[in-house]
Structure 1
Amino acid sequence: MKQPFPFSAIVGQEEMKLSMILTAIDPSIGGVLVFGDRGTGKSTAVRALAALLPQITKISGCPVNSEKVEDVPDWAKLETKKSSLAPTPVVDLPLGVTEDRVTGALDIEKALSQGEKAFQPGLLAKANRGYLYIDEVNLLEDHIVDLLLDVAQSGENVVEREGLSIRHPARFVLVGSGNPEEGELRPQLLDRFGLSVDVASPKTVAERVDVIKRRDAFETDYEAFMVRWKAEDALVRGQIETARGAIKTLKTTDAALTDIAELCLKLGADGLRGELTLLKAARAFAAYREDTAIGRDHIRAVAPMALRHRLRRDPLDDAGSGVRVTRVVEDVLG
């Protein structure tokens, strides 16, 4: 089975790649929303991320990827309690998916053949401790959006129907991609994404040539291409693992918190989710850079992706939200 296109081999799209790396370092940042034209590498980046991420320790056969035996749900009925390493789960949530498929439901096959009332886990179970990816997220049906909002808020999936009463952890990083021309995202779901990035097609001939060369090499000389980029991906994976450990001891000064609060206040961001996300993203970026404290450079680098989707529309300002954030960052941080 072929591995996905290597993460490090993606040409350009540095903000998109950085946003995914930051959520890998600190999943509590809350996921990534990637908006852009078709063919700009959105889906490729998500699938490449799956191969890049460090493995997780899980109880073998556990349907919700439990790390410890005591966390395995009673309904799982595992025969073994041994742990093993497994790839970080990255689960696709397709458009048109039914609620049963998302949350899980009664196992009809067992009910008919064995007369046993058993639970068939859904996509939320598979995505626990990993990533849930939604392509064309802006076209997702409203009732599925509401369901995801509830689970994202609680970190738990609850199924109460067909005589079943099931609960299991469902903590995942939500990654959504879409084309803004095909419709806007509901504000409630938009606010659930920690980071938001806009991607576009390469603007220079040199970049476009690089894209063509690498994609062609991936398709025509797969083995050599994967060997070529294996070391680059391993380097990024090592940096993520190191940053995960370093983030716990990283210093946050009152000056940094003041800068973050002032930025959000001047931008008119609703609530305090913007400040908290910006703090977490800046901290993850500082850890990734192997710095020991959050500074203005870290805040400046991640502010657009943490705040651009939290701004109120200003009918008197034609500038895009990213430009507005950059303007205020320059005003506050210099």
Structure 2
Amino acid sequence: MRTIDLLNGRLKLRHLTLIVAIAEHGSVSHAAEHVRIAQPALTRSLREVEQILGVDLFVRGPRGVQPTLFGEAFLEHARSVLAELRRAGERITGLADGEVGTVTIGTLLAGSNVLLPRAIATLKESRPGITVIVQEAPFDSQVPRLLEGDIDLILGRLNPIDDQPGLRQITLYSEPVRLVVRTDHPARGSDGLTLGDLMEFPWVLPLEQTALRQELEQVFHAEGLPLPGNRTECTSIMTVRTLLRTTDMIAAMPESLVRTDDHLVPLPIPLSTVRRSVGVTLPARGSLVPSARMMLDHLHAHAAEITDLVKAGDT
């Protein structure tokens, strides 16, 4: 027995719509009125489908037309196909409107502490159907995944990209970096505190490959000091917070993070040459998907709030 090929182009999507309409309205004439075509045209379409299938789909009865055994089987699949296409249309519409979708963010230490959680919270309030994926890793390891499309944007302290023409950056805000300790740290009782006075304490420094680490090294060098010998190198914000709260360690942290932690305070030693610019790194070409574009809008909004907070602290 031969298999009927319904993918050869003879069967049209409109055929499915019309056959389902006939079954739902119980007559060709009523179906024709519903789909707004002439009854002869609908009858002709029905005959085309029956010719393609080689079977009768309906029989006439005293109350109109009734599906045959073959008609029932075909209708089951026709309705399923039409339902899937409707769902596909709804999904595409949702993606285009930003109602659903996924945004993947590669994050660095800077930006992930205050800005990103706030932006995620407000995005999810307005668009709960959007899935947000956050992946933390050093900048250099994130760039290839950004260019390949595995992540939508990189959020954090802006790194130089002069040698990478495939990237572009948007600055969200800039703020000072402070030397931070716990509220009852012994160094807070010293008058005329200098960077050299802090060398006896343990430190938490960023990893060597980070921009902040390089700037801190320049600060120590300018003061004629080596890097602290008693140090831990770490970029995990949770680990750094815990170490600062529970030990005599010192770390360089962004001002916005200090302002949101009642257990940490800045030391009166300015790091005038260390100021972080936080922003997003994007591919130079192509446009963001709607979900990623909405995330960027929320990042802009909360970055403006942080900028106002920093300005208030500087006055």
Range into which the TM-score falls when normalised by the shorter chain: under 0.3
TM-score by structure 1 length? 0.20
TM-score by structure 2 length? 0.21
Q: Which one has the bigger helix percentage?
A: 1
The structure whose Rg is larger is: 2
